[in-house]
């Protein structure tokens, strides 16, 4: 299976947030950990993430996030 097909398959297990104006997908914590491992295994870089909560059926930022910076000689592959 190609990287793009595998990535689409992994992302489709989450909830697309595009209708909320966010160009990303949401996963429950346990699901996110599995998806992150599998994305790492196909060598797709992930540069950061944000934490949101569902409150009263609305997406609310938890003001928690993480990110990493690419090192000078580090590639994305």
CA distance 53 to 22: 14
Q: Where are the domains of the chain?
A: 3-67
Strand stretches in the chain, DSSP E: 15-16, 25-26, 48-55, 58-67
Question: Within 13 Å of residue 59, how many CA atoms lie on the same side as its CB?
Answer: 16
**Chain CA centroid to CA 57, Å:** 20
pLDDT tens per residue across span 35-67: 999 998 888 888 888 998 889 988 888 999 989
Task: Write out pLDDT tens, residues 1-31.
Answer: 677 898 999 999 999 988 888 888 999 889 9
Give this prediction's pTM: 0.74
């Amino acid at each position: 299976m190609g990287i793009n097909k595998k990535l689409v398959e992994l992302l489709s297990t989450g909830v697309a947030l595009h209708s909320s104006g966010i160009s990303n997908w949401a996963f429950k914590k346990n699901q996110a950990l599995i998806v992150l491992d599998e994305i790492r295994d196909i060598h797709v870089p992930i540069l950061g993430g944000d934490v949101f909560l569902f409150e009263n059926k609305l997406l609310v930022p938890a003001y928690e996030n993480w990110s990493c910076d690419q090192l000078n000689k580090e590639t994305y592959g």
